[in-house]
Structures are given as C-alpha cells and as structure tokens.
Structure 1
Amino acid sequence: MFARAVKEYSKEEVLEVLHPAVAEWFDSNFPSLSPPQRLAIVPISEGKNVLISSPTGTGKTLTAFLSIISEIIRMGETGELDDSVYAIYVSPLRALNNDIYRNLEVPLREIRERNPGIPEIRHSVRTGDTTPSEKSKQLRKPPHILITTPETLSIILTAPKFREKLKSVRWVIVDEIHSLVENKRGSHLSLSLERLRYLTGRDFVRIGLSATINPLEEVARFLVGYENGRPRDCVIVETNWAKALDLALLSPVDDLVNTPSDLVSSKMYELISELVRMHRTTLIFTNTRSGTERVVFHLKKIMEPIEIDEAIAAHHSSLSRQVRGDVEERLKRGELRAIVSSTSLELGIDIGYIDLVVQIGSPKSVTRALQRVGRAGHKLHEVSKGRFIVVDRDDAVEVAVMLREAMRGRLDKVHIPMKPLDVLAQHIVGMAVERKWDVREAFDLVRSAYPFRDLSWEEFESVLKYLAGDYVQLESRKVYGKIWYDASEGKFGRRGKYIRAIYAANVGTIPDEVDAKVYTTDGKLVGSLEEEFLERLLPGDRFVLGGRVYEFVSARGLKVKVRPAYDQKPTVPSWFSEMLPLSYELAIEIGKFRELSFRMLDREEDEELVRMIMEMSNANENAARAIYTYLKQQYLYLKSLGLRVEEMPSNRVIMIESYVDDAGRTHQVTHSLFGRRVNDALSRALAYLAGSRLRRNLGISVMDTGFSVIYPRGVEPVARIDELTEYDLRELLKRAVEKTELLRRRFRHVAARGLMILRNYKGYDISVNKQQISAQNLLKVVSEIDEFPLLKEAYREIMEDYMDIRGAQEVLEGIKSGEIRVLDVGKLDVPTPFAHGIILEGLSDLIFMEDKMSALRRFQKEIEKILRE
C-alpha cells in the first residue's frame, strides 16, 4: 500500500533511468544529487505514485519533472508523441505557475540545443488569466506539459474540445500540497483528479510535493485516492532532515509587562533593524496584514535614510497584483534589504535570495514556523535561519515550545475537511455538463476521492435532489434545478443550455469578500480596503497601505480616491484578518511544558528552569527570564491560595476562576490549554448552556490558552465546563450558532460553492452585497427543510473546520474519564497571571490598547503586592 523510500540511488543509477539527452544535461548542471533526487527519481521513472516531503531548496520540482521529460522525449522518438497533454502540474498559486513555466524553459531549451534532433516538448500555463487567443492556440497545439490551478483543471475537464486532449495524461504533479489539503480547494482538487482518472480510463502517476506536512500517510491517501475501497499504492519520500536549521527565540526586554509599551515597541524595532543590517536580505513575517503595514512604517522611521524608502517593502494579499509583482521582482534583483509579509510569501514562489527570516509573534504551529523559516537559505547546503521575536508572555511560552518541537522534527497534524457537500454539489454539476451519468457509477467515482471515501448514499442523493430542483420551496427564491435526476432509472445529466457557462463562471471554493479598490487621484491602483473599514473613514483621515501613508479624499461605491500623505502620522487600518489559531497538538505540548515547569519550581530548581528554556528554544536571556517570571508568578499566586503543585493548570488540569471587573461583570475564566479552535467550540457551547438557563445572551472571550464566559452585572455563573459532558456537544453548538453572523456568512460561502447563489451570471458579476441578501433569505427557507445538504454543510464547516469539535469532544471525554481534572478556585479579587490575557481580551470592546496595557500592569502590581505579603 504505502512504502517509505529507503533505497538511495547513486548518481550513475539515476542517470541510467533518464533519457541520454536529459541525463547529459542533468549531469553537467548538477555535480551531485539532492536527497529527494536520490530517493524519488527512480520510483517515478518506474511509474509509481510518489509523495515527496522535503525542505524548500532541495530540488523537489526538478525531481518530479526529470523522469517526465525523459519519457516524453522517448515517446517522441518512437512516434508516440501526439498533440495532447501528457503531464499536468497543479499548484495553488498563479505566481508559482509562472515561475515553474520559466524554470522549465531552461532545461527544455538547453536539452534541445545540445541535441537538435530530439522532439520539442511544449509547455504552457492555463489559469484564469489566460487570454482567449492563448486558449485557442493551446487547443490547436496542446502543451505536452500543462501548468494550471485546481480551479482551471475542473473547468477544462468540462471544456468540450480541450478535455479530449486530456485523455492522454500520464502524470499529475500536485505542488505545495500542504496548502491545499487543509481547505476546500484540496477537496475540490481531489474530485477533479478522480474525474480525470475516469476520463483517461487508466491510472496515471501522481506526484505530490510538500515542504513540511504531517502525517505523511494521510496526505498520501489524499494524493492517490481510493480504488475499490482501498488506497492506491504510494511511495513516501521524506527528507526533512536535509536542511540545517538555525532557530532562536528573542525578546527585546526581560519584563514584558512592567516595561512601558512604547519602550517595548522601540526596543523591538531596534532589534529588527539590527538583524536587517546584519543580513543581506531579511524576510519578516507578521500574522496580520495590519501588522505588516505597521512594521514597514516603523522600520522606515528607525533606519538611516540612506538605508530606507525603496529598500523596505510590504507584501500582502490586499495589495494589487501589480504592486505585489513589482515587489517580488525587486526582491529577485536583490534591491530590497527587507520585505515584510503576512502569509502571502509562505509558499514556494521564487523570491530570490533570503538569508534570514524574522517572525514577529507566534506563527501558532510548528509546521507554519518551518515553512516560513524554510524561505531562508534556499539552496540545499545553506542553513535556514529564523529569529522569532516576542513581546507577549503567552507568545513567548508558545514559541519556546514550538521551537523545541521544530528542532525535534515534530510537526502538527494536518486537518482535512471531510465530505464537504458544497464542493460535491459543484462537481456533480460539472459531471452533468460532461454527459449523462449512471448514478451508482458517479457515486463510486466520488468515493474514490479521499475526503469523500465515507460519503453515504443518502448524503450523495440529497445533493442530487437539491441540484435537480426537488425542493419547490426554493423556486420562489429563484433557485432552479441545474441537473435532471431520474431515481427510477438511476441516471442524471445537465438541465438547460446555460449550465455549462454557469458552471465555468462559478467554479472554485474561495469565497468572495467585499473590498474597495484604492486609487490615487491620478488613477494609480495601490491596493484595497475592506468595506467595513471604508465606512469609518472621513476626508482627511490618513492610513498606511503598501508601506506608504495616504490621505482619504473621497469614495464612490467601492472605489476610493486617496492622495500621498508622505511622512504625516497615519491611522493604520484595521484589516479584520482572522488570527491564526494555535494547533491542538502544540497546545498539548505547552500544557506538558507548564506541568514540568511547575514541578521544577516546586523543587526550587529556578535557575535550572531558566537554563532549560534557553537550551530548548535557543532563547536569549530576556525571553527565558520573561517566561520564567510568568510561570513563577502563576505558581506563587496559586500556592498562596493553598493549591498543591498537582493542581496547577496544564493539559491534565482545567482550572476555573472568576473575577468581577470594574463594570461589575463576572468573567468565568476556564484555563483550557487546547488551542483556539477547541476553545471556540467549548466556550460557545458553555455560554449557550448558561444563557439558556438565564434566558439571556452571554459574552465570551476566546484565546488559545483558555476562554471566559462573561456574565452581566450582578449575575453569578450558572454552568461549568464539566457539565458539558452530559450533553450532545454537536447539538449544543448547532443551537449556539444558528442565529449568529457566523452562520449567515458561512452559509453564503457554502451556497455560492454549491451553486445555490451565483457569483457570476451570463457574464455579469453579482455583488457580494446581493449574494449576502440572497443567502439570508435562503437561510430562512432551508432552515425549514429537514437535512438540507448545504445548510448541513454550513454547520459542518463551522464545527469541524472553523472550530475543532473533535478535539473538544476529546477534552470532554478526558473530563468524563477522569484523565483531565476540573478545579474551580472560585472568585478571586485579582485574576491569576494566566487569566490576564483572557480577561483583557474580553474587555477589548471597552478599552483602547494603551488602557489594556495599563490594566495588565495594574493586575501585575496587585499580584506582586499579594506575593510580598
């Protein structure tokens, strides 16, 4: 079934399986083999499915293509090479596709120049950016190697003429597979691959490429799919040991609470600027787009004028494609000393030479940390160097444990969405566009895709019935059948001549979001703002976009006019980016670290604890002392309450405490260190249970380290986390979210993916505002329909993808079995140090950031006073 590649082939053995012309080119350009080349080229040449997990810069992509190029040349020499597609390369990024096109041009051109008699291998890119004339050209002379995206692949599978050119496909490469499997783009691609398999009538070689991912066996199942209920065979190549790592945890000060905020900030930017000066090119990651803009702005202020301006740039998804492309090109040319990004540069586009990655704050998972650091030292024998800067105590603990796990080679587990019915609905329409289907044959095809392997017949048929227009209640809302379905005959097919165009114009899983285009007064596009932020702007307001300050002039619809404000003081926009959640596995490890630390403190091994922190995460003394002080204060405060070390909050002890704030509200804090997705599920269920008893809505504050349920003035807590063990958590959560904006927004996304709401009709884009209004009207209707598939999917997406109901159920099972203890220490005059962040998060609607830090310092002084007494 699955085999780990252990045999390392010599260069001579590898060259022997390649076509002589390819072998000669490869031998003259690469004096030695990289680890994935030693392990993977021969299995690929033998026609085996291969999943390669290897750090950035180890030659994964070339490994995948060498055997393919060799075999296509051999086919040309034997007269088997037709005007057809033989290899498909799929990646999630158009920019990466363009890079691959350019990178393939070199070997294909040089091999032909050295061997004029060999056949030409055509390769081209096909994405949403491809012009109609280029598509016509590809139909006349199809590329032998097609470079595309998941969405475009699903469209060309229904293209009447071009799909015929896909019947010859023998290889499919899925690059950056780690960025696809965890979302619905991956689910979508898995079905496209099975439809392609059906079209070709035989298996093709599947090659998956990933920098860091775990568990590899599950990702392999996703890549190769199922045949007759069993996973297809796959060879797993893992060479994550191939690149040396140089990781360190840094804090600009040793006291992250009592040091004034402006001093912490200035020390942080001094530290960053020092790191930038010490390196040729530094890539700086933040966790939000607003953070990206803030860092660029402050770095330009602090560094010498000769070093700044054009030498530092921002890169994030709200900037226009043209601006991003310009930044990438300047980076490749070595013109930038520093580039600041949120998530947009995590994936493998060629951005030139980077010798240092700086991460500000916690990236929330070991896998993401390694993916980001892997952008430094791109070549095989270079060290991937990363520096993690923290200015928050919880972040400091997180990153310390994260770097220890990274250096141990332990990665977070991937979460793959299972049975997304909106994606299924989209593909059923796509299949119906192709031809008339036997229902059971189509059901078997769908279940061959890993995410749908457990799909029930009832679920499959419910989607068919929805698409066939069986729910007459929807016709009054202009939702009509897109297929016909004859249950007695067991057949389905397309309905209406416009369905093909509707499908092609609405394919994809990425939801539309409202944004406003920002132009200068002379018409230059500089980026975009979210509509909610735009509503707050008044003429004369200044904000940062693309690392530059602009003054708001006017807005008409969703078009904003601005003028450059140069060095005037800005108001940084609130980008409403969703914060990255801490992974469940890493949260458990942090809980274990807490438990070990408390035991060391109980044995008075204080200095040993500081040394352990420094050694396990290569932390500077500032960071180690900040972590130690945080843990020590929590320990001493709880000891002052008479608690034993065995009762300190960890992964095995959930502690509850209550605190009344200045407004008289009671914060019932639950220290549940299981990550935000788990805590989101637990907090909403608990707040709903308590709220239903009180017959009023309660507030919640959710963090990775715990949550609080916030009761109104004069109202005492009426429920605890251990009471949830007596209820059906899924049912509680369903009731908790059914009236929320979260459900309304997610239902719009699901309805658009499931073609219930169209994003484009007959060439006209339908605004997100109209989509949202339609979704709200439809939600009322489908809520009255038992087990309606798209509403069912919206709830599944919220509970399983947005939240982590499985992890939450594991926690409740642990409580029920006694493996996890629940300890309630009652109402405290001063909250424990671990509770400070959770409580202040719950006050964020009432206080500004400066006041928040003042409140934190006030808590700290009260704790210190108690400990002195």
Structure 2
Amino acid sequence: MKKPQPYKDEEIYSILEEPVKQWFKEKYKTFTPPQRYAIMEIHKRNNVLISSPTGSGKTLAAFLAIINELIKLSHKGKLENRVYAIYVSPLRSLNNDVKKNLETPLKEIKEKAKELNYYIGDIRIAVRTSDTKESEKAKMLKQPPHILITTPESLAIILSTKKFREHIKKVEFVVVDEIHALAESKRGTHLALSLERLNYLTNFVRIGLSATIHPLEEVAKFLFGYENGKPREGYIIDVSFEKPIEIQVYSPVDDIIYSSQEELMRNLYKFIGEQLKKYRTILIFTNTRHGAESVAYHLKKAFPDLEKYIAVHHSSLSREERLEIEEKLKRGELRIVCTSTSLELGIDIGTIDLVIQIGSPKSVNRALQRIGRAGHRLDEKSKGILIGLDRDELLENTIIKYSADNRRLDRIHIPTNALDVLAQHIVGMGLEKEWDLKEAYNLIRNAYPYRNLSWDDYINTIKYLAGEYTKLEHKKVYAKIILRDNKFKTKGSVRAIYFMNIGTIPEETKIAVYTLDNKRIGYVEEEFVEKLVKGDIFVLAGKTYEFLYSKGNKIYVRPVKGVNPTIPHWFSEMLPLSYDLAIEIQKFREEIAKKLEREPLD
C-alpha cells in the first residue's frame, strides 16, 4: 500500500471546473487534511482509504473529484443516462444524510455556474434501500441516478436484478462509508463479495471512509481486494489523530466496592447535572437500548425543568421518532440525548459539547468513535467522560483511557471464509448467468475475506446448494442451484427466496407500538408484550405509555405520567469485550497481583 503526499491548494484547484473552484474558495477557503491528500488521488483514478475524525470533511474529500467529473461531463453534453458512482453505507439513516449533503453543494455550484454562464444539466442523486418505494425504484429504471446511495444488502440485490444491473455496468467510483463498522462483521464479508461481482462487470475506483481503526493496511486490503492472488494497489490516508481528544475516567462514589446502588445512581445523576451547568449539549452513550431508556427516564425525574430537552435515540424507535430527535439536535434544541449505538456512526447531529459513556465501551476503538462525536469541527477538542459503575468497569475505562492516550488501538479482526455468506452469493451469482465453476471460484477469491478459500470448501458449498447432501424434500428444503458439466446456475423459483432472505442481519420479531391516532413510536419484543396486561405502564422513546390492547403485530398505547414504569429489554444487546483490551486488562491484573505479593497491603 502507498502513502500519498499532501497536495497544495493551487494543485487541487487546477483540476476543478471553474464553478466548482469558485464555489469551494468562497465557502471553505482552504482544504482540510483528508481533502488535501484524497481529492487528487481520486481524480487520478487511484483507490484510497481515508481514516479521519468527525468534522474533517471526509464526505467532500471522497466526492469532490466525482462531482467535478460529473459537472465536466454535463457541461460538455457527454453525461450519460447511467450510474457513475455508488455510495454504500451500513446505515439507512446515514444514506439520507449523505443525499442532503451532496444535493446542497450541487445546488450551490449550479447557482455559481449561472453567474459564470457555465452550463450544467441535471445531475441526479437517489437513495435505493429496503425503505425505497416500488414506484421510486421503477422511476430509477427509466431514469437512473448518476450517484446511487445504498446499503450492502441492497447492492447485492441490485447485482442480481437484471434490468437495474444494466445501469451499473459502467460504474466508475464506489464509496464505502463507515468501513470500520463493516469490516469486522459478516455484513462486510457480504459487501466484499458484492464489490468483486461488480468488478466483474467493470473496473472502478474504490474509496473507503473510516474512523480510527488499526491496522489500516488490513482494512485497505479488505476494501481494495485481490487481483491474480495479489492485493490491489491503493493509497492509505491516515489523518485520524489530527483532532485533539480529551478523555476522563470518573467514579460516582469514593468507594466503588462497598457503596450502595442507591448512592451510586444518586451521585451519577448529580454528576450529570453538574456537567449540564458547564456544557450546552451532552450525548450520553450506554451499551444497551434498555440502558438508554433507563438513564433518560431517571434524568427527567431528577431534572423536571429540563424534561422536554432530554431525549432518547436508538434502533428500536420508529424512523420518524429518530429523525425528529436528529433534527432537534442539529437545531440545538436538546440538552441531553441518551443513545446506545445508533448515534455512534457519522449521522449529522450538529454540535455536541461533551460525550458521557456510562459503563465501559468494551473497546478502545469504540470509545474513540463515541467521544469523537463531540466537538464537531476539526479544530475543536473532543471531550469525553467514561463513568464506571463497578470496579470492573472502572478498571476497563482506566485501561481504555491509557491505551487511547498512547494510540494503542484494538486490532481489527476480519472474518474469513464464511460459508453461509458464500452460499448466498453463489445463489445471487447464479441468478445473473450460468457460471463456469473455476471462473466463479477465481472471482470469489478476489474478495479479501476469501483470498485463502480452498477448492474443497468451495465445491462442498456448491454441492450443498445443488442438493447433493440434503434429502429434505419432505420438509420442503430443495436444491437452490443446478450443477451440470462443471457449471452452475440458480433455479428461477429461488429468486424470491433469495431477495427475501439476503444479508446477515439477524431478524428480530418486532411488535410495533402505536398511539390511538396511529402514530408509530417504535418497537418492543414479543416476549415483553406477552407479559403486558391492560393498564401496564412502560417507557419508550423516553416517554411513559399505558398499554391498551394488541392487534396482530401491533400494540396500542396512550401517553400517561406513570409511576415506576417498566423499561423494556431487547434481545442480543450485550457488547463483547475486544480481544486486545481483554489482553491488556489481564496483563494489568497480573502485574497488580505480583505487586501485592511483593508488597502486601496492611
């Protein structure tokens, strides 16, 4: 992997079209560090991985050269009716943000172009995810966007959709945002195969945007993939420690071992109240949705005057509720927002003055990602406080602070040879065309997670999908592909099954919560609903509701002021302790144990 050199302003301006150049000069004056490194390399059609903090202009670093190219083509009358760039993000909410963040500069550049008598035609941007209406998808078929914004799962569907695949056959750029959140999971493995399937149609520039992650070389290999058994070339742009960060570790009590739970929680909310006097807007992270609801509820009780300025944001709230909270945050109308993981990634939420983490974030990288949400501009210090509620959390937080201060990050672990994900893509590939076994194998091994995939594992997966091991027709389990003469294709009847089951996100049985005027608040789990009886009061979205009745997969409630309400639990909420942090904790415990042996306490 190559390390690029920063470019001077004049060098970057020299490749920009006149309205783009003048717009940028008037709006931003100068380029941020990631922009200084990335824009020229993307313009030269080089692969790049950008690691930089929140507020450093990552999105523009990735897109300015692309927007400039589209404007140049439009000006010359050469802009075709096809997709030129694909933006992939793990979050649907981030997709809507990016659409706005691209449409605004395009609109402003067009206004500047009018002043200069410089023609720019219609440059289209569209979002295509599972939320997109069928009518909008149909419209995209006739008039495809020049920039397509999507998720890993929707990209895989597009690759197996014959009509829309025609529009991406000559795509020139793919931007993968929040790549650090994808690479360590099977969602990332899924995306890596999709990128290679897309690369089979056409070569394109790969652009990755990441928060602080280690080692970047591994993530770059994951993004760029392999060609003929060797990693593809590209540039790593690391400006992740350009932004100052300040981490404090705090215990609400002097004696964390023998203090009562009541004293601990009383002091916790008192401490948060003291921070409210110093800071305008505070983002509080907990490790669970239950924790976020609980903290918000108790803060409202402790500070009734601030009740309407305290909110909750997590993945089990309705899209409408989440968007409302995000907009209020941007407008500076909230003092505290309690969240679990939903605001961890780069959704635009305006200016946050302080981040408080209640409990241990379980990872150095996650701590930096969360605290990095404070201090929106690059020159502003990100301030965070890690609060331990027991001795283990206090110890973990102390070691996290020490590691972060010394730039000792958790090492990323990328899953390899996941055969369940492989099986999905073999079925998806077989929907495109009939594949030669060797040709498909070579394509799959170009994806970094499958670089060492053995022929035996590959063939066994193929045979399994062809039904050679399963005689389960009596249970309605049938072969998915047809294997004949060293070639395979997918059965036509499997298409609907594939589209309905694509991806690696585990399905949750969700019960929607509605008010009597049919406003959706969010979701709770079936197990929680089974225990509810009429008149029960529970908390959701930081408010208390009375359960009235259930109907199908919905329950109906009315807002009430409740005393001692129940706070729902959601399944699979615990965060794992990172491997490297666990090693550091064990080393520290061992060191202290030896010290105590040498110098026993009185």
The two structures share one fold, judged by TM-score above 0.5: yes
2:446 maps to which residue?
448
Please say which of residues 106-115 and 292-301 is displaced more in the overlay.
106-115
1:152 maps to which residue?
154
Q: 1:537 and 2:536 equivalent?
A: no
What is the letter of the counterpart of residue 485 of structure 1? L
SS of 1:585's partner is helix
Deviations along 1:4-49, whole A, 9 cap, x unmatched?
23x2211112212323332222122112221111222221111110
* 2:71 aligned residue (61, 70, 73): 73
How far apart in 1 are the matches of 2:86 and 2:138?
18
Contact between 1:447 and 1:454, CA under 8 Å: does it hold in 2? yes
Please say which of residues 469-478 and 284-293 is displaced more in the overlay.
469-478
What is the letter of the counterpart of residue 145 of structure 1? I
Shift of 1:561: 3.0
In the TM superposition, 1:35-114 aligns within 5 A as 35-114=33-112
1:503 maps to which residue?
498
How far apart in 1 are the matches of 2:558 and 2:147?
46
What is the letter of the counterpart of residue 246 of structure 1? E
In the TM superposition, 1:509-548 aligns within 5 A as 509-548=504-543
Shift of 1:528: 1.8
Compared CA separation, residues 126 and 575, structure 1 to 2 (3 A): closer
Compared CA separation, residues 431 and 302, structure 1 to 2 (3 A): same
How far apart in 2 are the matches of 1:169 and 1:523?
42
What is the letter of the counterpart of residue 208 of structure 1? G
Contact between 1:287 and 1:363, CA under 8 Å: does it hold in 2? yes
Shift of 1:543: 2.0
How far apart in 1 are the matches of 2:572 and 2:167?
42
2:245 maps to which residue?
245
Contact between 2:170 and 2:201, CA under 8 Å: does it hold in 1? no
In the TM superposition, 1:30-429 aligns within 5 A as 30-116=28-114, 117-200=119-202, 203-303=203-303, 305-308=304-307, 310-429=308-427
How far apart in 2 are the matches of 1:588 and 1:297?
36
Shift of 1:557: 4.6
Contact between 1:86 and 1:170, CA under 8 Å: does it hold in 2? yes
* 2:560 aligned residue (549, 565, 578): 565
Deviations along 1:177-213, whole A, 9 cap, x unmatched?
011111111111111111111112xx21100000111
Deviations along 1:54-73, whole A, 9 cap, x unmatched?
11110111000011112222
Shift of 1:347: 0.7
Please say which of residues 357-366 and 254-263 is displaced more in the overlay.
254-263
SS of 2:2's partner is strand
Please say which of residues 551-560 and 26-35 is displaced more in the overlay.
551-560
Compared CA separation, residues 576 and 142, structure 1 to 2 (3 A): closer
Compared CA separation, residues 520 and 114, structure 1 to 2 (3 A): closer
Shift of 1:596: 4.2
SS of 2:337's partner is strand
Shift of 1:589: 1.7
Q: 1:574 and 2:574 equivalent?
A: no
What is the letter of the counterpart of residue 438 of structure 1? D
In the TM superposition, 1:644-655 aligns within 5 A as none
How far apart in 1 are the matches of 2:416 and 2:481?
24
Q: Which runs of 4+ in 1 moved over 6 A?
A: none
How far apart in 1 are the matches of 2:577 and 2:538?
30
1:790 maps to which residue?
none
Q: 1:4 and 2:3 equivalent?
A: yes
How far apart in 2 are the matches of 1:585 and 1:27?
44
1:776 maps to which residue?
none
Deviations along 1:586-637, whole A, 9 cap, x unmatched?
1222233334445666676xxxxxxxxxxxxxxxxxxxxxxxxxxxxxx64x
Contact between 1:98 and 1:125, CA under 8 Å: does it hold in 2? yes
SS of 1:240's partner is coil
SS of 1:89's partner is strand
Shift of 1:482: 2.2
Contact between 2:537 and 2:562, CA under 8 Å: does it hold in 1? no
What is the letter of the counterpart of residue 195 of structure 1? R
Contact between 1:289 and 1:577, CA under 8 Å: does it hold in 2? no
Shift of 1:109: 1.2
Contact between 1:52 and 1:208, CA under 8 Å: does it hold in 2? yes
Shift of 1:114: 1.4
How far apart in 2 are the matches of 1:104 and 1:207?
16
Deviations along 1:418-461, whole A, 9 cap, x unmatched?
11111111111111111111111011111110111111111111
Contact between 1:55 and 1:240, CA under 8 Å: does it hold in 2? yes
SS of 1:241's partner is coil
SS of 1:161's partner is helix
1:713 maps to which residue?
none
What is the letter of the counterpart of residue 198 of structure 2? L
Contact between 1:544 and 1:550, CA under 8 Å: does it hold in 2? yes
Shift of 1:258: 1.9
Contact between 1:124 and 1:146, CA under 8 Å: does it hold in 2? yes
How far apart in 2 are the matches of 1:378 and 1:603?
48
Contact between 1:288 and 1:577, CA under 8 Å: does it hold in 2? no
In the TM superposition, 1:719-868 aligns within 5 A as none
What is the letter of the counterpart of residue 172 of structure 1? V
SS of 1:17's partner is coil
Q: Normalising by structure 1, what TM-score? A: 0.67
Please say which of residues 323-332 and 540-549 is displaced more in the overlay.
540-549
Shift of 1:78: 4.3
How far apart in 1 are the matches of 2:534 and 2:169?
58
Shift of 1:344: 0.9
RMSD: 1.8
How far apart in 2 are the matches of 1:85 and 1:78?
18
Shift of 1:216: 0.6
How far apart in 1 are the matches of 2:133 and 2:268?
47
How far apart in 1 are the matches of 2:321 and 2:531?
25
What is the letter of the counterpart of residue 491 of structure 1? K
Contact between 2:537 and 2:566, CA under 8 Å: does it hold in 1? yes
How far apart in 2 are the matches of 1:123 and 1:520?
35
Deviations along 1:366-392, whole A, 9 cap, x unmatched?
000010011111111111110111121
SS of 2:380's partner is coil
Structure 2: 5+ residue runs without aligned partners? Answer: none
Deviations along 1:450-501, whole A, 9 cap, x unmatched?
1111111111112222222223522111011222111xx21111223x3333
SS of 2:49's partner is strand
Q: Normalising by structure 2, what TM-score? A: 0.96
Q: Which has the higher contact order (CA 8 A, sep 6+)?
A: 2
How far apart in 2 are the matches of 1:602 and 1:534?
53
In the TM superposition, 1:557-636 aligns within 5 A as 557-598=552-593, 636=601
Shift of 1:323: 1.4
How far apart in 1 are the matches of 2:503 and 2:399?
37
Query: How many residues are treated as equivalent by the alignment?
Result: 598
How far apart in 2 are the matches of 1:277 and 1:322?
31
Contact between 2:545 and 2:562, CA under 8 Å: does it hold in 1? no
What is the letter of the counterpart of residue 274 of structure 2? E
Shift of 1:538: 3.2
SS of 1:18's partner is coil
Please say which of residues 503-512 and 332-341 is displaced more in the overlay.
503-512
Contact between 2:159 and 2:198, CA under 8 Å: does it hold in 1? yes
Deviations along 1:527-567, whole A, 9 cap, x unmatched?
22212222333333322211122233333454323333314
Contact between 2:417 and 2:449, CA under 8 Å: does it hold in 1? yes
| Sequence identity percentage | 56
Deviations along 1:214-238, whole A, 9 cap, x unmatched?
1111111110111001110011010
Structure 1: 5+ residue runs without aligned partners? Answer: 605-634, 637-866
